[in-house]
Structure 1
Amino acid sequence: MSFIAEFSIPADDFALRTALDAAPDMRVEVERLATHSREWVMPFLWASGGDLDRFEAAMADDETVSEVATLDRLDGTALYMIEWSEPVERQVDAMIDEHAIVQEAVADDEWFLKLRFADEDRLSGFYDELESDFELHRKYRTTGPKEGEFGLTPEQRETLVLASELGYFSVPREATVEDIADRLGISTNSVSQRLRRGHDALVRNTLLVNG
């Protein structure tokens, strides 16, 4: 039975470090493909939420990008076709060698990856090959318990629930990101990422389910 692994990697250790630094509000998402060719694992990238001009200019100087072409751009969202540089392709090779399927790959100042492996041995082999430092959030069998209500990770659910309890969503607001970070013992940046990704998961798995 197959396994799913969800983990995060700092952009400094994976891809688009310079471009994401130049446009700090940018969110990027890889168009999903199932393939066993390094050139076609992560070739298409959606970007939105930040300054696209600054992002595109920075990609030209980003050492993780070999070539980039803008395929579409409309209403603050752009689709790019990217040829990655050798350091990124070596990371991609680790996925290919273990026959991983990229189910989700998104980034702001760090990458969140969700990969499917045929079995736990393949998953372990990937960990051994991966060159970057990473934080494993969870791994599970696809035939086991549900992935999580509404697509939330345990960390996202914990942060959203605490934010609600503290009054972060109240009008007027009764708590700040700093308050949540203090309670969880994590950085304000991590809290912001969990809130953004949690909101995105809730929208995609509730409002857009039948879209």
Structure 2
Amino acid sequence: MGFVATLSIDHPDLVLMPTIETHPDVTIRYEYSATAAQNDLCFVSVFGGEYDAIEETMVDDHTVSNPTHVATFENRAIYRITVETDLDLLPEKCAAYGVFVFRITSGEDDWMVRTHMPDRDALTAFQDYCRSHSISFRMTQLYDSMVSDDGTYFLTEQQHEILSMAYYAGYYEIPRAVSQDYLAEKLGISTSAVSQRHRRAVAELIAATLENDRTPGRRNHR
């Protein structure tokens, strides 16, 4: 029942928006929020490796304060920040409508919120909140949550473009026939942008597989 929707939201006062706009090639994933000593806190993961530069931007970001480095792992760093904005990435009232959040990650200049919504009333509640707070709202994906066994994935145009080009150019061959530099030249974007778009596209495929509980069957490995 219900449907899966990926929503793009944007407003200068949404949490970490100035940081996202300054570092469009870095991916930030919103993990969870908490309250401590009357302060609203949230934890985020940062992917991309430019941690020093990102920390400097966070210090000047008016939507947050006290960015604290918690831990660094192989491919990401985790930060705890104090939220200094009243705008919510997901309005509290949406919980009453049964909205479930799969993940919230940064785009190139927005937040991408992937949700399961039980009905149209839940979507309307989200849209009404955005409209009343002048938050830019755009739906990038929408499909019936029952559509899960036909092997269909839902990629943005940019994600589809980079995966198609990489596949047909031989990027996935062993050894690789082309490099990310080649893809960047063909697409007219930077190598770091290729890396980010490619990672997001692959993550979308993995997420779609896991969310739909499609367990890979046995295959012959070469």
Deviation at 1:6, TM superposition (A): 0.5
Deviation at 1:146, TM superposition (A): 1.8
Across the two proteins, how many residue pairs are aligned to each other? 195
Paired AA for residue 197 in structure 1:
R
Correspondent of 1:171 among 174, 177, 181:
177
Please list every run of 5 or more consecutive structure 2 residues that lacks an aligned counterpart in the other structure: 34-38, 217-222
TM-score (norm 1): 0.68
Aligned counterparts of 2:92 and 2:150: Cα–Cα separation in 1 = 29
> Does the alignment pair 1:142 with 2:142?
no
Instruction: Report if the CA contact (8 A) 1:68-1:81 is conserved.
Output: yes
SS at match of 1:58: helix
TM-score (norm 2): 0.66
Deviation at 1:201, TM superposition (A): 3.6
**2:114: which partner in 1?**
114
> Does the alignment pair 1:196 with 2:196?
no
Please list every run of 5 or more consecutive structure 1 residues that lacks an aligned counterpart in the other structure: 34-38, 182-186
Aligned counterparts of 1:148 and 1:32: Cα–Cα separation in 2 = 32
Q: Which has the higher helix share?
A: 1
Task: State the Cα RMSD in Å.
Answer: 3.9
Instruction: Report if the CA contact (8 A) 2:165-2:183 is conserved.
Output: no
Structure 1 92/80 Cα, relative in aligned 2: closer, same or farther at 3 Å? farther
Paired AA for residue 105 in structure 1:
I
**2:69: which partner in 1?**
70
Q: Which moved more, 1:123-132 or 1:152-161?
A: 152-161
Deviation string for 1:31-59 (max 9, x for gaps)? Answer: 268xxxxx88x822111213212212221
Deviation string for 1:148-198 (max 9, x for gaps)? Answer: 848652533354124433x273624596446447xxxxx889876542311
Deviation at 1:21, TM superposition (A): 4.5
Equivalent runs, 1:1-211 vs 2, <5 Å: 1-10=1-10, 12=12, 14-31=14-31, 43-75=42-74, 77-89=76-88, 92-93=91-92, 95-96=94-95, 98-109=97-108, 110-130=110-130, 131-143=134-146, 145-146=147-148, 149=151, 152-153=154-155, 155=157, 156-165=159-168, 167=169, 169=171, 171-172=177-178, 176-177=183-184, 179-180=186-187, 194-202=197-205
